[in-house]
């Protein structure tokens, strides 16, 4: 039962010149009052022999017009003071809740109140949410919540964020949502134990999540307080960056962040043993491509025959210590008539082998810095969220496209396999991935897309939650978008906004999405029939070097020692390192 509290003021009456329906109706606004888009209102309808029905909704359109004017030019006479006319505002209300569920229209003339407090919570279904994660404020400045059931996999999972690059603040919203999950305490132990894996694809803006923001001002702190969140940076962050190209020591390739950062790479041994070769190719699973057969047989061959040898591998007795050497060796073996059949099977013709070889050689430049045979194996270099901090940021922005795909694909595959092995949905793992349309395009197949599809379809039960962002949801694999329980839209491109993927936005909101300001998002969640407009506060963590405060103390560790000495020398007791 939604209460119409006494202190809420009447703002108008249901008007009778337009059809009032149970799902949508118009309200004439009382002179002197106003209603703006997204305001929450409530009205009542008395029924014979039943308790009254309370109809609550949000304002989805407002219009004002001169009543008593016949011609457009009458406005001049009215403004001059010669023609009497009345300015009448009317607001379109889209129903969000009918309580009890008797779908009767509100009667024209019924008083419409502005809903506040409990009535507002009820109208927006917040009262039914057992665990609610604050995700910002509505236009009225009051917190707006996300039902945690649809985020942590209880009833749904995955978030899809769409919007124009630069203005839509997709990544900022994703990180704010994560922050809210970790710090709001609504998920209980799940929230504290949850891990996040964030891929940083553009600039170095996600590398400072654990640095306080020096531009944080009073109103922003107050906004955080209003959401019952502390205004502080992420507490526990570990950043991984690829090694510098051409650098044999494996120093992470970042320019702005100097502390608390580790290099990630794969050793040749891991590359062969865990069958990572298919991830080098963008379309390795595409049945239309002949060479994919070669990819899989070469992968199997490497898996079978590669023997670890001091960082590198040894294949058929030959010592290989770099990715370039490995590629050269594979190409050599494939072009040799004698060895070809042992590597690629017998039924492969030369054209197919050449197609494979061409692509493999092309990958040398992009991947040789990531797949290493010259760096210490035992040094921590793998991205493993279970062993890492609460938030793991993987920096990809310096990598070429192919290398980005490789890192994303392999990392996600590894994480997902770990989860499958563990067989439990806890702890939760949030994966933030921008440019989803690149990794899981609507057309074609690839190993990465398979991993992402797996996450989208099975991740919910395994506790892997994908927070995907993309400029255009229409270009992302449909199954991933449809599996997302929560859809978020920032500013949209006009042509994109007209696509059916945004059908959940009412027409007026679709129009508004074209001019949404940075920091404004439209969030659709399954149990609220109307998307909510959310303004989330400015990040409390630094988003670039210039606004970052002092780094947290524990990251200073990496200045003194880039790697754990015990890990480097090995932990076996009989080995005396000094």
Partner 1 sequence: MDAWDPSYGSSFEGASEADGPASPSSAQVDTDVEVPAAEWAPIDVSPSVRAPSVVFLVDGVRRNDAGLWTSEEDGTSYAGLAASYAAGVVRCDLGKGAASLVGARVARGLFTASPSAGDVQAGSVRYEIHRISGTGEASKLPAAVQAPLTALEIDISAAARDGGSDGTDLLVVDGPLRNRRQLPRTIGYVKTQQKQYLPGPLTAVVTALKPGQRTPVFHLGTVWGGWSWYLRLPGASGAPWSGIVRLECSPDLTPDQAIELAEISVVTLPRFASSAYKDPRAPQNLVPIAGLERRLRGMLGDARVLHRALTLATVRGR
- Our CB check for partner 1 shows the closer of 78 and 563 to be 78
Q: Is 83 in the site for partner 1 (CB under 8 A)?
A: yes
Give the strand order in the sheet containing 464-470. Answer: 143-147, 132-137, 532-535, 520-524, 486-489, 159-162, 464-470, 429-433, 195-200, 391-395, 237-241, 261-263
> Cα–Cα–Cα angle for 543, 546, 552, nearest 5°?
65
**Residue 511 phi, psi dihedral angles, 5° rounding:** -65, -40
CA atoms of 334 and 341, how far apart (whole Å): 8
Q: Nearest distance from residue 109's CB to partner 1, in Å?
A: 12
CB closer to partner 1, 77 vs 293: 77
- Return the residues of window 369-408 that contact partner 1 according to CB under 8 A: none
CA distance 571 to 574: 9
Does 18 interact with partner 1 (rule: CB under 8 A)? no
> What spatial distance separates the first Cα and last Cα of the chain, rounded to whole Å?
74
Q: Figure out which of the listed residues 64, 75, 79, 222 binds partner 1, where binding follows CB under 8 A.
A: 79
Read off the tokens for 518.
């940075």
Closest separation between CB of residue 83 and partner 1, Å?
A: 4
Query: Is 74 or 418 the residue whose CB approaches partner 1 more closely?
Result: 74
The DSSP 8-state label assigned to residue 252 in this structure reads B
Choices 77-85, 156-164, 270-278, 485-493 (CB under 8 A): range interacting with partner 1: 77-85
In whole angstroms, how close is the CB of 107 to partner 1 at the nearest point? 15
Are 130 and 188 a contacting pair, CB within 8 Å?
A: no
Nearer to partner 1, 86 or 245 (CB): 86
CB of 87 to partner 1, least distance (A): 11
In the complex with partner 1, which residue's Cβ is closer, 71 or 578?
Answer: 71
d(CA 528, CA 209): 31
* Cis geometry, peptide bond prior to residue 100 (ω within 30 degrees of 0): yes
CB of 79 to partner 1, least distance (A): 6
Alpha-helical segments (H) within 37-165: 74-80, 117-123
**List 18, 62, 77, 508, residue binding partner 1 (CB under 8 A):** 77
Figure out which of the listed residues 7, 80, 218, 337 binds partner 1, where binding follows CB under 8 A.
Answer: 80
Q: Does 82 bind partner 1 (CB under 8 A)?
A: yes
Least Cβ distance, residue 90 to partner 1 (angstroms): 17
User: Which x/- pattern, by CB under 8 A, does the window 46-75 give for partner 1?
Assistant: ----------------------x-xx-xx-
189 membership: H or E segment, kind and range: helix 189-193
Which residue among 81, 423, 500, 550 contacts partner 1 (CB under 8 A)?
81
Q: Which residues bind partner 1 (CB under 8 A)?
A: 68, 70-71, 73-74, 77-86
């Amino acid at each position: 039962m939604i209460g119409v509290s006494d202190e809420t003021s009447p703002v108008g009456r249901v008007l009778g010149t337009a059809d009032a329906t149970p799902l949508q109706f118009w309200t004439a606004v009382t002179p002197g009052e106003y209603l703006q888009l997204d305001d929450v209102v409530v009205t009542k309808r008395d029924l014979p022999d039943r308790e009254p029905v309370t109809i609550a909704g949000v304002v989805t359109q407002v219009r004002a017009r001169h009543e008593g004017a016949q011609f457009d030019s009458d406005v001049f006479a009215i403004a001059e003071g010669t023609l009497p006319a009345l300015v009448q505002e009317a607001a379109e209300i889209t129903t969000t809740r009918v309580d009890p569920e008797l779908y009767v229209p509100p009667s024209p003339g019924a008083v419409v109140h502005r809903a506040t407090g409990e009535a507002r919570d009820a109208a927006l279904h917040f009262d039914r949410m057992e665990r609610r994660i604050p995700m910002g404020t509505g236009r009225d400045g009051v917190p707006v919540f996300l039902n945690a059931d649809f985020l942590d996999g209880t009833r749904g999972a995955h978030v899809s964020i769409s919007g124009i690059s630069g203005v839509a603040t997709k990544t900022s919203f994703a990180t704010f949502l994560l922050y809210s999950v970790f710090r709001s305490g609504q998920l209980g132990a799940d929230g504290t134990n949850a891990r996040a894996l964030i891929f940083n694809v553009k600039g170095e803006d996600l590398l400072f999540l654990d640095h306080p923001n020096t531009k944080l001002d009073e109103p922003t702190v107050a906004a955080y307080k209003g959401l019952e969140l502390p205004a502080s940076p992420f507490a526990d962050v570990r950043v991984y960056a690829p090694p510098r190209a051409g650098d044999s020591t494996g120093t992470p390739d970042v320019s702005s962040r100097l502390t608390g950062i580790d290099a990630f790479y794969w050793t040749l041994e891991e590359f062969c043993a865990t069958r990572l070769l298919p991830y080098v190719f963008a379309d390795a699973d595409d049945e239309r491509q002949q060479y994919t057969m070669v990819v899989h047989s070469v992968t199997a061959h490497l898996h079978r025959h590669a023997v670890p040898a001091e960082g590198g591998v040894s294949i058929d007795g030959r010592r290989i210590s770099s990715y370039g050497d490995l590629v050269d060796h594979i190409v050599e073996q494939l072009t040799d008539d004698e060895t070809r059949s042992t590597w690629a099977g017998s039924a492969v013709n030369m054209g197919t082998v050449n197609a494979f070889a061409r692509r493999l050689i092309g990958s040398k430049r992009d991947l040789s810095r990531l797949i290493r045979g010259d760096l210490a194996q035992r040094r921590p270099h793998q991205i493993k969220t279970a062993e890492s901090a609460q938030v793991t940021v993987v920096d990809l922005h310096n990598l070429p496209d192919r290398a980005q795909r490789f890192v994303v694909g392999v990392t996600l595959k590894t994480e997902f396999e770990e989860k499958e092995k563990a067989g439990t949905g806890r702890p939760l793992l949030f994966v933030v991935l921008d440019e989803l349309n690149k990794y899981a395009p609507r057309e074609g197949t690839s190993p990465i897309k398979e991993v992402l599809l797996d996450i989208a379809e099975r991740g919910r039960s395994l506790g892997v939650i994908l927070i995907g962002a993309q400029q255009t949801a229409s270009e992302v694999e449909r199954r991933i978008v449809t599996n997302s329980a929560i859809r978020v839209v920032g500013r949209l491109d006009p042509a994109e906004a007209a696509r059916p993927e945004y059908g959940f936005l009412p027409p007026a909101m679709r129009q508004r999405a074209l001019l949404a300001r940075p920091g404004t998002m439209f969030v659709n969640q399954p149990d609220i029939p109307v998307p909510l407009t959310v303004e989330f506060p400015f990040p409390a963590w630094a988003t670039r070097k210039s606004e970052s405060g002092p780094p947290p103390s524990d990251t200073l560790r990496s200045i003194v020692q880039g790697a754990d000495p015990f890990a480097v020398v090995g932990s076996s007791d009989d080995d005396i390192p000094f």
